[in-house]
Amino acid sequence: MPRIAEAKPTEFKLYSPGAKKVVVSGSFNKWDTKKLLAKKDSKGTWSAKVALKPGRYEYKFIVDGNWINDPHCTSCVANSLGSHNCVVEVK
């Protein structure tokens, strides 16, 4: 019987000390623009954790209403809007 893959905590981080609100939106949450709200630490780094099953997911950050890519992401794919989405692989 195949083992069911367990969801793993996956953290998204973005350094943006001047931001007022940061949301992580992606294929794992149907590109929801409100649900996965990041929290800011005292140094200006925003982070959000979500449990993801193994697979490949596309995502972006929404910083004060502006969609931006993760500057630390090494893998991006073109999207239907003429820009790119970041890719995270959960093993």
Residue extents of the structural domains in the chain = 8-90
Distant-in-sequence, close-in-space partners of 69: CB < 8 Å, separation ≥ 6 = 60, 61, 76, 83, 84, 85, 86
- Closest by Cα among 78, 90, 87, 91 to 60: 87
- Tell me what pLDDT residue 5 has: 76
Does this model's pTM top 0.85? Answer: yes
Model confidence over 21-63: pLDDT tens digits? 999 999 999 999 999 999 999 999 999 999 999 999 999 999 9
pLDDT given at position 80: 94
CATH node for 8-90:
2.60.40.10
Give percent of the chain above pLDDT 90: 95
